[in-house]
C-alpha cells in the first residue's frame, strides 16, 4: 500500500512542475496528496511548490539548521552535509525504502522522536537532528561511524563491528565527509573508549586498571 502511495506522489510531482503540492497524513496515518490546502487540520499539512532539485541551500533552511544545531549542540556542517547527501534539500524526497523528507526519516525513527508528519520541514529537521546527535554521541564523535549508522543502521555497525562493507554506505560516507571538506580513507572498527580506574590497595599500592575487581576498599577515581 505504501509503495503505491509513494508512486502516486512521485507521479504527481513529476507532472506538476511549478504547481503547489499539499501533503498530509489522515487520522489513520495514510498519506494524502493534493493540489489544494484544506482549511481543516492545517497543522498537519505541508505546502510547497514543486520544482527541480535545488542547486543551493534555501536560506530559510540554513536559518533553521543553525538554530537547531545550537539548540542540540551538534555540528552545523555535519547536519548540512547529511541533508545534502540524503535529499539534496528536497522536503518531498522519498526513497525506495520509504524514507521521507529532508533527513530521510523512516517511520520507526520518526515515531521515536515524535515526528508526526515527515514532510513537515520543522518536524523532519528536529527529529533527524536528534537522531544524528544520538548516533554522534553513541559512536564517540567518530564521523565515519556516525554516518555509517545513519545510512545503514546501528545493527549493521554492531553486526560488522564497525563500518559495514556496503558500497552504498562507503560512498555515502565519502560523499558526506567530502561536503564537510574532510576525507574518508577506509574501514573503521568501533572500539569504545574504556574508562580507567585508579585506587589504592591496603598495602599502599596505587593501581590503575580498565576493569575493577569485584571488591575494592577505599575510594575509586575515574580517569578520563
**Which positions are catalytic?**
86
Q: Dihedral angle at the C-alpha atoms of 14, 62, 140, 223, nearest 10 degrees?
A: -170
Name the helix (H) or strand (E) containing 222.
strand 221-223
CB 74 within 8 A of CB 132: yes
Phi, psi (degrees; rounded to nearest 5) at 184: -110, 125
Q: How far apart (Å, rounded) are the C-alpha atoms in residues 21 and 37?
A: 8
CB 43 within 8 A of CB 145: no
Q: Which of 160, 162, 222, 212 is nearest to 189 (CA)?
A: 162
Amino acid at each position: 500500500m505504501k509503495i503505491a502511495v509513494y508512486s502516486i506522489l512521485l507521479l504527481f510531482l513529476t507532472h506538476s512542475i511549478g504547481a503547489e503540492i499539499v501533503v498530509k497524513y489522515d487520522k489513520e496515518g495514510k498519506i494524502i496528496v493534493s493540489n489544494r490546502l484544506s482549511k481543516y487540520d492545517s497543522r498537519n499539512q505541508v505546502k510547497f511548490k514543486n520544482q527541480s532539485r535545488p542547486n543551493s541551500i534555501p536560506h530559510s533552511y540554513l536559518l533553521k539548521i543553525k538554530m537547531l544545531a545550537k539548540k542540540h549542540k551538534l555540528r552545523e556542517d555535519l547536519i548540512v552535509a547529511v541533508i545534502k547527501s540524503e535529499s539534496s534539500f528536497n522536503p518531498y524526497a522519498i526513497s525506495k525504502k520509504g524514507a521521507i523528507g529532508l533527513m530521510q526519516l523512516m517511520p520507526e525513527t520518526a515515531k521515536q522522536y515524535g515526528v508526526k508528519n515527515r514532510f513537515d520541514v520543522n518536524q523532519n529537521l528536529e527529529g533527524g537532528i536528534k537522531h544524528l546527535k544520538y548516533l554522534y554521541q553513541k559512536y564517540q564523535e567518530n564521523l565515519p561511524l556516525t554516518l555509517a549508522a545513519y545510512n545503514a543502521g546501528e545493527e549493521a555497525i554492531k553486526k560488522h563491528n564497525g563500518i559495514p562493507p556496503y558500497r552504498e554506505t562507503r560512498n555515502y560516507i565519502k560523499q558526506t565527509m567530502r561536503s564537510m571538506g574532510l576525507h574518508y580513507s577506509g574501514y573503521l572498527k568501533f572500539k569504545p573508549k574504556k574508562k580507567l580506574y585508579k585506587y589504592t590497595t591496603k598495602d599502599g599500592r596505587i593501581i590503575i586498571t580498565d576493569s575493577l575487581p569485584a571488591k575494592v576498599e577505599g575510594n575509586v577515581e575515574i580517569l578520563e
